[in-house]
Amino acid sequence: MSPALLTAPKYQGFSTRSIHEGSDPDSSTNAVIQPLSLSTTFKQDSIGEHKGYEYSRSGNPNRDSLEKMLASIEAGGMEAVAFSSGCAAIATVLQSLGPNAHIISSNVVYGGTFRFMTQVAAENQGLESTFIDLEKASEEEIYNEIKENTKLIWLESPTNPTLDLVNIPKVVNIARSHPSRPFVLCDGTFLSPYWASPIMQGADLVLHSLTKYINGHSDVVLGAVVVPPRHHNDFGLKLRFLQNAIGAVPSPHDCWLAQRGAKTLQLRMKAHGENAFALAKYLESSPYVKECIYPGLPSHPLNDVAWEALSPHARKFVESLGDREERGGFPFGGMIAFRIRGDDGAGERFLMHTKLFTLAESLGGVESLAELPARMTHHSVPPEDRARMNIGLDLVRLSVGIEDVEDLIADVKQSLEFAVDQVDAVVPSAKLALMRKKLAGTSVANTAVHKVTQTVAG
């Protein structure tokens, strides 16, 4: 367990920090790139005397380097605790609350978060979860839901997959005005530390699925929680203890890959944002689209909240592009959601016909991905809850990659035309059956009642 993670960042620039923090040349060989440390155990000079490492579950040089870098690029962060997946990070935070705690959560959350809260923590530790529309709820409504045993307010901003926004400072002020003073956690996966800085807006903890943008290449499963200095002695030490005690730690190789990926995070996030902004403007103008949801567009009801949520480094970049009103908005991450016109099968047909947008769960890689949340990432959410979240069969989620934007727009255009205009188009039955199996997880014909089990992935 590494006290080196508690040092302040040495550099101001975002890319400078992501490249150099935690990446000093190897002390034994002067190798510029840190070597992999695969050993599970470390020699002790005498009993209890060692060079900071005893056993790789408790501490590993590659994990320490990754955590140091993560703490430096999350503005306001001091300590990062890495886990073997985003879900492991979610589980560890909720387990840290102890038995019979109460939490308040955004009513639209990642399906895996909803599942752990309602099906695991509720049963195993008596966790009670209250789901609120934190975007639209008044201060009084949120305050009145806080109980004596409320330990945490969990929010996503933007939410997955509907891209609702939460006014983080408002929620923080409510939490701190209540005698229970619950912590406020923000899942920052959709924006990454580049586009937003929740700790600077008052959040007590920030959680990331590093699998997504921070790694950025769809080849690592990792998670992390970043803690500001004011919470090192309470939440920081507790999470560090649970990381070791539970043992949901990432492998050295995954840490090495994620740290390498993060070195280009700023470059990638600029490209993701500009591509998504251009594609969102096209979708908003398309006759085949009922609604395009992108917080950087003026049509988004909380466009001003998105502007205020920009991190200092992202704001500097956005302002360099020109006046936001003249440009018709501004880049705000790489995620888009839209509602397609047509019948209930239009979303499926759209996903079948894209050439560059790969039908797949997850997000944040350099390649563009598309999915139907109602049948994929949020399929395990009960239908009545999906309806409450406004996640229907018309909702398509796009993770916009860094390909040439002209190609991405052309791909979406041709697929929309196919999906909406050619309702009666003949689709090879074998391909249609395969696609439906991918979307639904299973298929049961002519049966009134059936059960579907599907892993929620991203």
Q: How does strand 395-399 pair with strand 369-371?
A: antiparallel
Residue 404 falls in the annotated catalytic set = no
Strands (E), 276-365: 289-293, 335-340, 358-359
Runs of H (alpha helix) within 49-100: 61-73, 86-95
Residue 110 falls in the annotated catalytic set = yes
Q: How far apart are CA 328 and CA 324, in angstroms?
A: 6
Backbone angles phi, psi at 340, to 5 degrees: -85, 145
Q: Which of 17, 64, 110, 268 is catalytic?
A: 110
State which amino acid sits at residue 282.
Y
Q: How far apart are CA 339 and CA 395, in angstroms?
A: 5
C-alpha triplet 276, 393, 112: angle, nearest 5°: 75
* Eight-class DSSP state of 7: S
Largest CA distance in the chain: 76
> What are 434's two structure tokens?
């395969």
State which amino acid sits at residue 362.
S
> What are 246's two structure tokens?
């539970």
| Polymer length of the chain | 458
Q: Which of 63, 68, 115, 212 is catalytic?
A: 212
Strands (E), 219-355: 223-227, 289-293, 335-340
Q: Which of 64, 187, 254, 394 is catalytic?
A: 187
Residue 451 falls in the annotated catalytic set = no
Residue 431 falls in the annotated catalytic set = no
Is residue 69 within 8 A of residue 55, CB to CB? The reply is no
**Among candidates 347, 368, 391, 386, which has minimal Cα distance to 162?**
391
Is residue 166 within 8 A of residue 106, CB to CB? The reply is yes
**Could you list the active site residues?**
57, 110, 187, 212
